[in-house]
Every structure is written in C-alpha cells, then in structure tokens.
Structure 1
C-alpha cells in the first residue's frame, strides 16, 4: 500500500562538521515484510551530536538521523499482518540478521551481521515517514504518548540493559550515577526499583534537583566536591558497589575507578 503523498520533509546529515539540512525527499514505500510509519515523535540523542561533530562517523551520507522513533502505522507491505494502518507503535532501531545465536536469544544488539541501524546506517525518524521491518515495531499501550515512547526507545532501554544485564544491581547496594541526563535519570529510577541506594553526580544544579526528585538519595555537584572523595566518605571508605559512568572523559573515568569498592562493577555508558 502506498502513502498518500509522494514527498516529505526530512532533516538530513550530509557529513561530519556539516550543518543538518532540511530537505525534501521522496516518501519511502514499504516492501514485503515492512511498514511505513508516520512519525509522531523523534528524539534528539547526544549520539546525533557525535554524528554532527564527526566523533561518530559510519560513512553513510546523506542520512536521516533519529533512532528514537514513535508514531502511527501509515501503510504496510505484502505479508504484514501483525500491525495495521492506524496502530500506534515505537520503533526498535536495530535490525539483526535474525539467524545468529544472538538474534535467536533476542539480543540483536550483539549480532555480528547487523542489517541496519535506523538513524545510523539507514534513514531514521527525523522525517515525516520512515520504513522499517514490521518485526521491529512495538505496539504502544494506551496512556503512553508517542513523545514518551520515543524517548523510552533509547535512553530507558539503555539504562534497563545496564542495570539488569550488565551490572545486575541488587537490593541494598550503593550505586553511583555519574552524569545526569536522560539515561542517568532512567538509571536512578531503575536502581531505586532494584532496592539500591543511589548517589547522583553532575554539575548542573537544576539537573541534580531533578535527580533528587526522581529518587537519588544523595546528589553531588562535581564543581563543588570531588565525587570520588565524597563517595568514599558516604560509604565509610568502602566505595560504591556499582558506578555507571555516562560522561566519557578521562577525569570522570579516573574518578569512577577511584570511587569503586573492591570487586565492584564499573559500567561505561558515555563516550565522547
């Protein structure tokens, strides 16, 4: 089934250091097993800034960025019956091969033969429409807005994977979230749900205030206190059981190691 319009507006990346362009391009059409999604919301992740500045360069240009996507199914291609036009959906942006052991375990992010990553190697959500495999669509429950769903598709799932699969945060542990932003806020809430004590570290008072509102037991302003020294003081010189590092620079990495207890778990999430 074709979309009702032939062209659309899209914000596109044209190469490292280049400004994003507001272009008019053809509306993509869904093929077999695919769906056309009318984008209702698309997030701006720090990764897009890395793309813009050349920190991340996958050699694909021009490209429609945007990997945090939610909207409504506009049309479906042949063989698609799991979703239909009008369904509210979020997009899972990894397209694994579907055949390897990792894909069969539901861990497409570890696939060695990734087919596409929307917003990185294939056009993403900074456009009016995007075509994706129907199997990559997640139905939205009532009460969840497309704006909320788009953000959940990256920041919250990144945090969930870090808390449950990587760090395995446990009841009664002390956790440091070093860097408060979208992923950090999700980490704070998930760690509290796991029964951990949470220390949030940042430099912006407003962000630290929100971190406290979302459940951080202690906040540390890194412009005023050395986070490593303060964390050791708060833990009786034992250090934190888990440190999530979200900044990705030498200073914060060194401090993260310094505040970690023996046999603690350090999870690097940020990069720069």
Structure 2
C-alpha cells in the first residue's frame, strides 16, 4: 500500500533503538511493523525529544513491559496514516494525526516509546484509539509536542492542580513543560503567575510567555520577593517541573494557607517535608502528577486552532533521526536552553 508521499512502503525502516540493559541508543534497520487488528501504521513526520527520554537513557524510568530487551523511544509523535489494520473504521490513509502516548488496558496503562515501540523511527504501529486528527494548518513539529510537553502541564494545572481563575501560581522550572504551563495558566486565568528558574535566559523567556514575575530561586531575598509579588498571600499552587529536591522544598515553603504543591518533575529521590508542623497547621497538600487524560489533546489542538495558544516558539531545533543521542545530550545539559527538540525521521 502506498504512503502519502506516493512511494511504496518497504520491508525495512530506520529506528533509534534503546537497549534497556546497557542503556545505549543505536540507529538500526528493522522490519516495518505490521498493523494488527484495531491498529494503524503511521508514517512519522515529527517526534519530540523529551526529558522523559533523558530519564529513560539514564535509567530513572525503566521500560517494564517490553519483550525483547530493546524498545524504540519517542512518545511525542505526529505523522500520517500509512496503513490500516483489520477492524479499524473512521480513518483513511493520508489522515494527519498525533498519537495519544498512553494506552489503557485492564492490567494498567502502557506508554508509547517506553512500554512499546515509539516514534523515533520512520513508522510506528499504534492502536487506532490513540489517534487524534490534526488540522492542515498545524505543522507536524508543533503538533508532535502537544501529547506531552503541552498536555502534561495542562492536565497538571486543571485535573491535578484544580487551578481557579485569580489563584496565585508558581512554576518551578521553565523548560519544556514549565514554558507551556505559563501560557496555559494564562488561559485559565491564574494571577499572578510567578516563574522560578536559576537561569536568566529561562526567566526572560518566562516573562515573554506571559509570567507576571520571574524569580531566581538562589537569591537570598527570594521569599521576600515572592511575598511582595503576591501581595503577602504567597502561592495557592506551586507546580514543580524541575524535579530536584531543592525546588520541591522551596515550593512547599512558598504556599499560602491551604496551598497545594503538584510534583511533575521526576527526581527518583525521597520527598522531604522540612517543617511538618507548618505543613499540618497550614493544611498544605502534595500531589504527584504524570501524563494526561485522553480529552486533553483534542482540547489543546482546539486552543491552538482558535489562536488561544501559540506553539510557534516552542520548537528549539529540528534534528535528523541519527542525531537523537545528541538531542538527549543537548536537552540534559540545557545547551541553548531548549523548550523542545524535534527528530525528523
């Protein structure tokens, strides 16, 4: 069957494979996967490089459901439908789509590019239920990052954080997730929005994206500045996208009475409450957050289509598939302070 470029789909393809035991990435030539019952084959046009991919490469996140010891990474994927498996209706070869990264099964969820082969390849097979249509005027690069870089902070803000209009919110870490959180907090009416990041470039970016203030967490007068910006009330919600103990501790210490902290960044380290008395007296809460709900991605695509959300500045670079390892390094070391890097197979 022909793909949307008019060329025949061959028997093999290039894929960036991750060896779980050795924790190494290698570009391999592998068979093009077959679309089984209820599945589709998608020709990948863009795939995001996420901090979760860095965590996988470093061993913080371990694929638990793969059968071969290797997995193709990539959970932020956009492309076109190339083949349709048996039992699939409502989709046509050539449809432009993004992929929901989570698949729910009776025994739990499975994550694309972690528990089964993802989009750092020329083709990927996915259940038809994970497909979401993208409009013709939304480019593949921007569409690809919606399933995590945008939908994870959106879900953390609305579903886990329960942000209401007029609430004061702090955002620790203005990287791929935090940068979008600032834009999305403006959508829901949070005020003031305070970005917290040790990098001056990240703080400047936060202000450009709509933060009301941007603070250096290492400054000796951090607490005083936060209190001044919030007119003495401190934070109703602290969102931690940094995933480091110092940020978590500072976020907890910045809460108003009844304030809550949502931990999105992954550290793999214990969470410490330095002052358990204040934590109880002021009725603070901590909630963890991971991923998104199925409804989030279509909602966000609509927000982009209606001009409420601009992702044009979110693509910090586009790399060929063979430079995936370099993309991980650039993201991990914050070289040029990227929001999102994209692989183009």
Same fold flag (TM > 0.5): yes
Aligned partner (choices 142, 147, 155) of residue 141 of structure 2? 147
1:237 counterpart = 2:237? no
Residue in 2 that maps onto 1:205: 200
**Runs of 4+ more than 4 Å apart:** none
Residue in 1 that maps onto 2:49: 44
Alignment RMSD, CA only?
1.7
Stretch of structure 1 that moved more, 210-219 or 51-60: 51-60
- Specify the SS of the correspondent of 2:151: helix
Distance of 2:38 and 2:237 partners within structure 1: 42
Aligned partner (choices 263, 270, 277) of residue 268 of structure 1? 263
Distance of 2:147 and 2:33 partners within structure 1: 22
Aligned length in residues? 258
- Specify the SS of the correspondent of 2:185: helix
Stretch of structure 1 that moved more, 65-74 or 225-234: 225-234
- Specify the SS of the correspondent of 2:97: strand
1:134 counterpart = 2:128? yes
Aligned partner (choices 150, 159, 163) of residue 156 of structure 1? 150
Aligned partner (choices 90, 102, 119) of residue 125 of structure 1? 119
- Specify the SS of the correspondent of 2:24: coil
Residue in 2 that maps onto 1:92: 100
Distance of 1:270 and 1:81 partners within structure 2: 38
* Deviation (angstroms), 1:81: 2.0
Distance of 1:222 and 1:269 partners within structure 2: 18
Q: Deviations over 1:161-197 (max 9, x none)?
A: 1111111211221110111012111111111112212
- Specify the SS of the correspondent of 2:252: helix
Structure 2: any 5+ residue segments left out of the alignment?
3-7, 268-345
TM-score, normalised to structure 2's length?
0.71
The verdict on how the C-alpha distance between 1:79 and 1:16 changes in structure 2, with shifts beyond 3 A counting, is same
Residue in 2 that maps onto 1:56: 61
Q: Deviations over 1:86-122 (max 9, x none)?
A: 010000011112xxxxxxxxxxxxxx62353211110
Distance of 1:4 and 1:255 partners within structure 2: 53
- Specify the SS of the correspondent of 1:48: helix
Residue in 2 that maps onto 1:216: 211
Task: Indicate the structure whose relative CO is greater, using CA pairs within 8 Å and at least 6 residues apart.
Answer: 2
Contact 1:73 1:89 in 2 (8 A): yes
- Specify the SS of the correspondent of 1:233: helix
